[in-house]
Each structure stands twice: as structure tokens, then as C-alpha cells.
Amino acid sequence: MKVLLNETDLHAGVSRLASQIDDHYQGQPLTVVAVMTGSVVLFADLIRMLSLPLRVGVIQASSYRGQAKAGELSVDTQMLLDVRNRDVLLVDDIFDTGRTVAKLMEVIAVQGARSVASAVLLRKCRAHDVALRPDFTAFEIPDEFVVGYGLDYRDQYRNLPFLAVLEPHEIDANTDGVPANGAIYPKP
């Protein structure tokens, strides 16, 4: 596993992201919605850095389900709070194909939000499946499979305090989700 962004890099990027959001909304109330589960670490750090009046909520979306490539998107809005007539910021971990962010922004708009914007920790440098681009992005990264800081592979690695690229042999994990080589998480 190769470290792509260390803890210091991540903190600085999230801080820049918070400043951009604060500048954009200029003290106006904001409803911030986290895409579960990958954005949970980013979400916790980001909302503590924002200086706006906030309401927070979550929405569940999944397209990977233990795979290294995205599949069909599943959305669960049961935990989404009332967003009618609110300015909403959707927070996701990564903008890969773009389908998840685009679909969730559409779902939130249909719920009656006054406006919907998106913030992501990572945007992959690649062709995206949608024309939409995130309104706020902390980092642009190469088109590689990354884990850590909330991102996972087969429910592993979310707890890493840094962002790392999985090597091909690390993606070939056992079916029980344990890394194939039994690797110990590296120190950044």
C-alpha cells in the first residue's frame, strides 16, 4: 500500500474545503448531508471546521458492495432529514464516475431543497460518466483505487488516518475481506 495523502495533507485539504464553503455561503444557514458510510470521517472533520449555522443529516448510497469497480447504485433516504426550502450541501468521499453525487443531488432536489451543492474529498482525474462536477473539491487524485480516511475495500481500511493506494495484489483479497497478504497497515 502506497500512502497518497498523509494526515497533515488531509487536514490542510479539509480546512481549505471548509474555507471555500464558508466563503460561498457567507454565514447563511446550511443543511449538510453526509453520504454514508465512506464520507463519515470527512463529514466529522468538515462540520467542525465550518463556521455556519448547520443542520446535519445522512443519506445512504452504495455502488461498490465489496468490489473494486462500481456497480448499480442503491439509495436509501430513510435517514434523510427534511430538506424542504433549505440550502443543502451533499458531502461525499470521492467523485469517481460521478453517478452517485449526480443521483443523490437529484434525490435531494426532488425532496424540495432550495439549492443543492456538492463537496467531495477526492475527485479522480479521469473521464466521468456525468457532466456534473463537484462544487467543492479538496483534492484531485490519479485514477487509482484508494482507501483510508473513511474509504474502504471490502469493509477494511476505513480507519486509516491517511489515504493510500491499494496495490493490485492487495485488491485480490480473500472473500472474507482480509487482505490477501495479511498486511499490517503501514505507518505514514
pLDDT computed for residue 185 by the predictor = 52
pLDDT computed for residue 184 by the predictor = 47
Catalytic residues: 96
What domains, with CATH codes, occur in the chain?
Answer: 8-141 (3.40.50.2020)
Nearest to 185, CA basis, from 155, 147, 142, 144: 147
DSSP states along 7-31 = HHHHHHHHHHHHHHHHHHHTT--EE
pLDDT digits over 96-137, tens only?
Answer: 999 999 999 999 999 999 999 999 999 999 988 998 999 999
- Which residue stretches of the chain have pLDDT < 50? 174-175, 177-184
**Positive or negative: CA dihedral 21, 120, 74, 37:** negative
Planar angle of CA 138, 108, 81, nearest 5 degrees: 95
